[in-house]
Structure 1
Amino acid sequence: MEKVSVVATRQLSDGGKAQRVYLLLSNEILRGGYAPGDVLPGEIKLTEMHSVSRVTIRRALTMLANDGLIERKAGLGTVVRAPAMSQTGISADFASLMPQLVRMGQATEARLISFAYVAPPAPVAKLLRLESGNVQRAVRVRTVEGAPFSHLMTHVPEDIAQNFSEADLATTPLFRLLERSGVIVDHAQQSISATLAAPDVAEALDVAVGTALIALTRVVYDKSGRGVEHLSALYRPDRFRLDMTLNRIGHQGERQWASVLEMGGNE
C-alpha cells in the first residue's frame, strides 16, 4: 500500500482527515495498542499527534463511538471499549479446516446481495484455468446473531453452477452445493492479506469506508486440476479471528515450526 505523503495529507478534506485519524486509532485499538478500559489522549493531545484540528478529532472520535470502540465518560475522558468480538465473533482454527467450514455454514446466516452469469475477469479465469465460457458470480454477506462479519464474492464455472439455484445460494454453504453437484474437491490454494473497505463493502459490513479488513482469496480445484470455485472474502477483524496450531518438528538442531493445515474461511 502506498504511503500518503505529507503534502497529500495536507490536501485532504476535513472529512478525509477525520477518516484517516479514525483508521489509525481504530487499527491501534483492534491491534491491542489500547486495551479495554484505557483512556485515550485528550483532544488537544490528539490534535498535536495527528496535526489536525479539534473538529477533525471530534469527527474521528464520533466514528469510533458509533462503531462501539470507545465511549465518552464524564470526568474521565474517552475510554476504550472491548471489541464486539467477544459477543458476536467467529473464529477459525487452521488445524480443523473442513469440519469448521460445515459448522460455520450451519451457525451463521447468509444474505444474497447479487447473482448473475457473467464473463469472468481475466485474473479469475486464469486462476480457474478457464479458456472460455461464463461463470456464476454471487455476492453474499454472512452474519452471526444478526451482525455482519464477512463479505463473500464467488465465481463458479457455469456448467457446475447450473446445478444449484439462486435460492440455494441464499440458504446453503457453497462447499455443500459443490459436493451435491458431484464435484470432488482435491486441493485449494489460498492467500491472506489486508485491504480497506470500499463504499459498497463498507455498507454491507456496517463499517466506515476505508476500514481495515482481512482479505482472503481461495481457489478450489478438483482431481483433474480444474478450478471449481474462486472465492474473494473480506472479514471484519473485530468479528472474525484466525487461529493456527503449530507443531515443533524435525531433529535436534534442525527443528522448526510447522502448521497442521493452512487456514480456512467460512465458505
Structure 2
Amino acid sequence: MNKFQEIYLDIESEILNQKYKPGDLLPSENKLAHMYNVSRETIRKALTLLLESGYIQKQQGKGSIVLDIKRFDFPISGLTSYKELQEAQNIESETILIENKVITIPEYIADFVKVSKDTRVHCVIRARKVEGEVIILDKDYLFTSVIDTIPNKEAEHSLYHYIEKKLGLTIGFARKEFIVEHATKEDKEWMDLHGDTHVVVTRSEVHLEDTTLFQYTESRHRLDKFRFVDFARRRGPN
C-alpha cells in the first residue's frame, strides 16, 4: 500500500471516530506533512482521496472542511464488510451463523457470475440482529478454488478480515446490483419483517486485486432499517 493511501485510511478513521467532526478544518497540508513525515505532494494525494470519497470539501482560503459523513449509512460504492460498518457507525449488533458448508454453486448464481454450474463454493449464511431484531440476511458464496477452508469462528467474526489478514489475499473490486424483491420463505423464517412483503437485495460479484473472481454475495435488508447512499461529485465537461 502506498504511503498516501495509508494516510487516507488514517484520516478516514479519525473522521469516522469523530476526532474531526462535520465543519472542522483538517490541519494544513504543511502540518499534515510534518505529522506524517512525508512530502506535501503525498498529503495532496491523500486529501484527493478524501475529497473524492466525500469526506472533505476544499474551500479556497480555508483548507479542507470535514463533511457530515452520517449519510454513509450503507455505501453503494466502496467495498466494506458489515463488521467494518458496524465498528465505524457504532452499531450494536449480533451475528448469527446459520450455515457454513461446501456446496455446488446454485444455478442462478452460476448464471449471474458466469461460471461453470459444477463450481464448488463455501455457502456462508448469517443473520444480523440489531436492537434485538434480525434485519439483514447475508448469503455469501466463496469459491473453494481460491479459499480452501472457512472456520465457523472466522465466519461469525468477519470474512474479509479472515481473507485479508489470515490468508493474505487482497480484495480488489466488486460489481453490484440493487433491487427490491418479494420476501422469500427464508427471509420470513429468519428476519423480523413485521408483515413486510418485500426486502431490498444487494448482489455483488467480488474480485481479488489480481482480478480473480472469488465471491458472490447477496445481502437482504428489511425495508425500513437501512439507507443505501452514495456521494457524487460533479466533474466538469472536458
* Superposition TM-score, scaled by structure 2 size: 0.59
In the alignment, the residues of structure 1 paired with residue 170 and residue 200 of structure 2 have an alpha-carbon distance, to the nearest angstrom, of 28
Which of 181, 200, 222 is the equivalent residue of 2:167?
A: 181
- State the SS of the aligned residue for 2:160: helix
Q: State the match for 1:138 in structure 2.
A: 124
CA RMSD after TM alignment: 2.6
Moved over 6 A (4+): none
Instruction: Establish whether residue 111 from structure 1 lines up as the match of residue 93 from structure 2.
Output: no
Which consecutive unaligned segments of at least 5 residues does structure 1 have? 1-89, 255-267
Any residues of structure 2 matched to 1:223-234 within 5 Å, and which?
A: 223-234=209-220
- State the SS of the aligned residue for 2:168: coil
Instruction: Establish whether residue 152 from structure 1 lines up as the match of residue 152 from structure 2.
Output: no
Q: State the match for 1:222 in structure 2.
A: 208
CA 1:165–1:105 in 2, change beyond 3 Å: closer, same or farther? Answer: farther
Structure 1 position 192, deviation (Å):
0.2
Q: Computing the radius of gyration over CA atoms, which structure comes out larger, 1 or 2? A: 1
Any residues of structure 2 matched to 1:1-267 within 5 Å, and which?
A: 91-94=73-76, 97-98=78-79, 101-106=82-87, 107=91, 108-128=93-113, 130-131=115-116, 133-170=119-156, 172-179=157-164, 180-207=166-193, 211-251=197-237
- State the SS of the aligned residue for 1:192: strand
In the alignment, the residues of structure 1 paired with residue 230 and residue 214 of structure 2 have an alpha-carbon distance, to the nearest angstrom, of 26
Which consecutive unaligned segments of at least 5 residues does structure 2 have? 1-71
CA 1:125–1:139 in 2, change beyond 3 Å: closer, same or farther? Answer: same
CA 1:233–1:224 in 2, change beyond 3 Å: closer, same or farther? Answer: same
User: If each structure's helix is expressed as a fraction of its own residues, which one has the higher value?
Assistant: 1
Is contact 1:94-1:242 (8 Å) kept?
Answer: yes
In the alignment, the residues of structure 2 paired with residue 192 and residue 104 of structure 1 have an alpha-carbon distance, to the nearest angstrom, of 18
Q: Point out which structure has higher relative CO (alpha carbons under 8 A, 6+ apart).
A: 1
In the alignment, the residues of structure 2 paired with residue 145 and residue 208 of structure 1 have an alpha-carbon distance, to the nearest angstrom, of 15
The percent identity for this pair of structures is: 16
Is contact 1:198-1:210 (8 Å) kept?
Answer: no
* Superposition TM-score, scaled by structure 1 size: 0.53
Structure 1 position 234, deviation (Å):
0.7
- How many residues align structurally? 161
